[in-house]
Structure 1
Amino acid sequence: MAFTTENRSQATAHTDEEIDLQAIASRIKNGQITRVVVLTGAGISTAAGIPDFRSPNTGLYDKLAPLNLPYPEAIFHISYFSHTPEPFYAIAQARHPGNLKPTISHAFIALLAKKNVLHFAFTQNIDGLEQDMGVPVDKIIWAHGNWKSQHCWKCKAEYPEDSMKKAIREGEVPYCQQPECGGAVKPNVVFFGQSLPLEFDEKQKLVPEADLMLVMGTSLKVAPCSQLPRLVKEGTPRVLINIERSGDIGSRKEDVCVLGSCDDGVRKFADKLGWRDELEALWSSVVETKKDDREFEGVPSLDECIAKAARQMDERLKISNGHKRMLESHLGNKLAQIKAKPTMQP
């Protein structure tokens, strides 16, 4: 039987689920668990102001409706980006990591590293907030890339960081500076239609070495990361902290599902570990430092950025349609002139 921690009345003293989470915490404290593998998704960054992807009404894909994309995921598909990068940069202005502060969930990963029990972390997020929080770069892989560098999607030339930040602050699409190229610049994030980093295959071999896998804030619907929890050896506990069940977690007797927000679940886990004060102090120290970074201060909200891009795309479509009608009219007049011109007799 798998266990689930849900909202319960305060009158309930202890649940089997709470006792199970406590048992895992005890194994960490007494040294029985020393290799924790972490897998994270969008849910650990929602408290930083980044909506997840699929939640009805509040998720990013629903918010993109004004852009009239062929399908929501097109915003992250390289073939769509190559000719229409405006939607991606509409959300980039609002979602650039320069605007964001790590969450308590990011801090928990950093604390695992500080306690020397983080074996490795896989994240599907591109915000890079784990690194901002202090997670060692040799202990994590950004499976879908991140914003730390950028290049032209077309000729692959590197693009200056200051020029990239300027374009995003002003809500513009940055274009390649190489002669006769002009391709749109994209951050080094993995789009649909592109391959994951080469090291991913090597790093996933670390998963079977885990004596605990912690999965946070992911629906486990995007391969290949969605398959990582299945690589955990039978008998090894897997803890899911998420709004709802995901993947096959809950199918093994040693699985523990803590349902709710990631930050709430992490704080509960930290309480069991006796790490709560240390966790809050670590998080606060980084958040306070980020308050002095005003590089992206005052940028529009995500909804405002999307609305602006929708207006720009609509205007561009009107211009394109107007140009098309002008050409059709011109060609129609030429055809009429040809038809009216007498045909030469042999």
Structure 2
Amino acid sequence: MEGEKKDDGKSPKKPEGKEEGAQGTQAGGAIDALAAGLSKYFTSAVKLDDVEKVLSEVTFEGVAKYLKSDKCTNVITMAGAGISTSAGIPDFRSPGSGLYDNLQKYNLPDPMAIFSIQYFIEHPEPFCHLAKELWPGHFKPTPCHYFVKQLHEKGKLLRHYTQNIDTLEHYTGLPADKIVEAHGTFRTSHCLTCQKEFSQDWIKEKIFAEETPTCDAEDCVGLVKPDIVFFGEKLPDRYFKCVEEDLKKCDLLIILGTSLSVQPFASLTGRVPTKTPRLYINLDKGNTNVDPFMMLFMGGGATLNFDDENNYRDVFKQATCDEGCYSLSDLVGWGKELRQTVEKEHKRLDAEIAEDKQKPKTAKGASK
């Protein structure tokens, strides 16, 4: 499943042109060769005899045994859009159902323009209309979100890294300091001109009233944009700070519902210690080969070696994120508790959503 929508504007881009031709084919072959060479180099640089093997068996069951043990106390989760699709939020790249395949009504020059900072500055209306449809609060956290919260409650979670902008982790009650929103959040907004900060309630009122959010500071009429990362913008400073502090401590990496296609987020898989087990729960194996440029500049060893004869730590669980998390929780002995939590919390949120729908609306549709 596809989990991402944005990059940080720094990843290498394909040169523009009418067709790649022979030069494009040669360049692609050279990059593939470089990736293969670098992957082989970094893999061979790790002396397997010197690596502590923490899994009793390199299987899903082996990961569960390790998670349950006292040795596993600093779990990092990496999440993409696949953890939210069962909540009714589309991913971005799945053919047919993905968001990028369903933006025709906005008459965009290309689907990704809706998340381009330059296009937003010139034409903010399409994004504002889309934001109304995807606004946090319309959806309930999934069992996968509650599993991440369960990891925290069991004293296992070091940090949850997400590419998603739906803020569903917050609705589970997971503390904000445990969450790193790599691609930003709707929870705050800023003026693009004077940098004045605005609350989520303020920007929501403007978007739901179908008004272009404009700064209310004196002598400023700049556009106000939610603090989500558009193409052409850098990732939040907190992302880089937490990556530097967290990844070296990670003793289990759980990758959930991301195709591992967007950098630098995908490179996190290669920044954990060489002994750290890596569990990937997804419908397919995604882009598990290393990006050669990220390998050079962000750290090596990102390739997930599920099928390598020397694999000692990488496990792939082919399942939806909800199914995979329920199965893992069952094996650890937390499954009944997780199901009860999901049922209880969904009932509570259903009641809140129903109550909110009964509130009076203004003529333009913004809640009073």
Q: Same fold (TM over 0.5)?
A: yes
Helix, strand or coil: the match of 1:177?
coil
Letter in 2 for 1:229: T
Confirm or deny that 1:57 pairs with 2:116. no
2:254 to 197, 207, 214: 214
Match for residue 186 of structure 2? 147
Q: Is the 8 A contact 1:169 1:296 kept in 2?
A: no
Encode CA deviations 1:74-122: one digit per residue, 9 max, x unaligned: 1111111111111111211111112111111100100000000101111
The unaligned stretches of length 5 or more in structure 2 are 1-56, 289-302, 359-368
Alignment of 1:222-237 (within 5 A): 222-237=262-277
Confirm or deny that 1:174 pairs with 2:213. yes
Letter in 2 for 1:52: D
Task: Find the aligned partners of 1:217 and 1:111 in 2 and give their Cα distance.
Answer: 18
Task: Find the aligned partners of 1:243 and 1:124 in 2 and give their Cα distance.
Answer: 18
Helix, strand or coil: the match of 2:66?
helix
Alignment of 1:96-245 (within 5 A): 96-205=135-244, 206-245=246-285
Q: Is the 8 A contact 1:98 1:296 kept in 2?
A: no
How many pairs align? Answer: 281
TM-score scaled by length of structure 2: 0.72
Q: Percent identity?
A: 40
Helix, strand or coil: the match of 2:113?
helix
Match for residue 13 of structure 2? none
TM-score scaled by length of structure 1: 0.76
Task: Find the aligned partners of 2:76 and 2:172 in 1 and give their Cα distance.
Answer: 18
Confirm or deny that 1:249 pairs with 2:304. yes
Letter in 1 for 2:208: R
Letter in 1 for 2:73: T
Q: Is the 8 A contact 2:63 2:279 kept in 1?
A: no
Letter in 2 for 1:196: L
Match for residue 80 of structure 1? 119
Task: Find the aligned partners of 1:264 and 1:155 in 2 and give their Cα distance.
Answer: 46
The unaligned stretches of length 5 or more in structure 1 are 1-17, 299-346
Task: Find the aligned partners of 1:67 and 1:219 in 2 and give their Cα distance.
Answer: 26
User: Which has the larger Rg?
Assistant: 1
Match for residue 33 of structure 2? none
Task: Find the aligned partners of 1:118 and 1:162 in 2 and give their Cα distance.
Answer: 30
Helix, strand or coil: the match of 1:218?
coil
Task: Find the aligned partners of 1:218 and 1:296 in 2 and give their Cα distance.
Answer: 32
